[in-house]
Amino acid sequence: MSLYDSILITGGGGMLGRALTDVLARRGHRLEAPSHRELDIAEHSTLERAFAKHNPTLVFNCAAHTKVDLCEEEASKAEAVNGYAVGALAALCRERGACLVHISTDFVFDGSMQRPYQVDHPVNPLGVYGRSKLLGETELTKNAPRDWLIVRTAWVYGRHGANFPRTIVQAARAGKPLSVVKDQIGSPTYTPDLAQAIVELLESGARGVWHATNSGQTSWFDLARATLDEFGIDAAITAITSAQWSKLRPDSAPRPAYSVLDIAPLTKQIGRPMRDWRAALTDYHRAVQAHGF
């Protein structure tokens, strides 16, 4: 039986879930991609029913509580969805012989390094979101099926759902003042590119923990400026520090100052680098022009 005989994508209504659906559908694979409303992975009985109904041989877990600031207020929910539910999902995959591909985050690192994080660098999340995602990684490995992948990524955006470039464009078009942090560095990652890389990783036989982002690095401020340039919007942006942002938004979660991930192993494994983040942003603009947000 092939891994691709029956595919289940949890969080199928989200940015990455929809991008994975597009990539796999183009390859002719049969899949189910229920949204969070249709399949809450934190409800174990619902998970069991989904497995009984679809009998998946391959599961992509794109479901997560990703609202980083809200996670600070909803720690129990974050742990349930991002942490313990991943362990339950892994156990079901193990029982049924399914492969599990789980999406994790750069937020498992504290941002204290000044060179790209390798998969085996020490983890030390700063906030609830990062801790809950690290818990998910731990729970998966404790309950691991025979075949599994953890793919850490960063600064994800796409045409569907809330994300940073969309927020910047909409705020600028509404005439709102823009103040953006300049001292946090990472790699913006476009969901169609990420989905393609994940599928290629899987097809290459990769297993274990991997890092996958678009190439290059930038700050949130420079990403905001590039987004406005791409969309042809003339709006002023004020560059501020993380400390200044914390004063403006005291309830915001701490974020790593530097969270660039080392994608050299990915490049070697799939035989190509993921393209530069700036080129991906141009394609995002084209997609929005063609289809809207």
Question: Is 190 designated active site?
Answer: no
- In a 13 Å sphere around the CA of 228, the CA atoms on its Cβ side amount to 18
Q: Which of 117, 129, 157, 190 is catalytic?
A: 129
Which pLDDT tens digits describe the chain residue by residue (293 residues)? 578 889 999 999 999 999 999 999 999 998 999 999 999 999 999 999 999 999 999 999 999 999 999 999 999 999 999 999 999 999 999 999 999 999 999 999 999 998 999 999 999 999 999 999 999 999 999 999 999 999 999 999 999 889 999 999 999 999 999 999 999 999 999 999 999 999 999 999 999 999 999 999 999 999 999 999 999 999 999 999 999 999 989 989 999 999 999 999 999 999 999 999 999 999 999 999 998 88
Domains and CATH numbers, the chain: 3-163+187-216+261-277 (3.40.50.720)
Pick from 104, 11, 95: nearest CA to 56? 95
Alpha-helical regions (H) of the chain: 15-26, 44-54, 68-73, 75-78, 85-96, 128-142, 164-173, 191-203, 220-230, 242-248, 264-270, 277-291
pTM as predicted? 0.96
Q: Residues with Cβ < 8 Å from 224, sequence gap 6 or more? A: 164, 168, 178, 180, 237
Is the Cβ–Cβ distance between 8 and 59 less than 8 Å?
A: yes
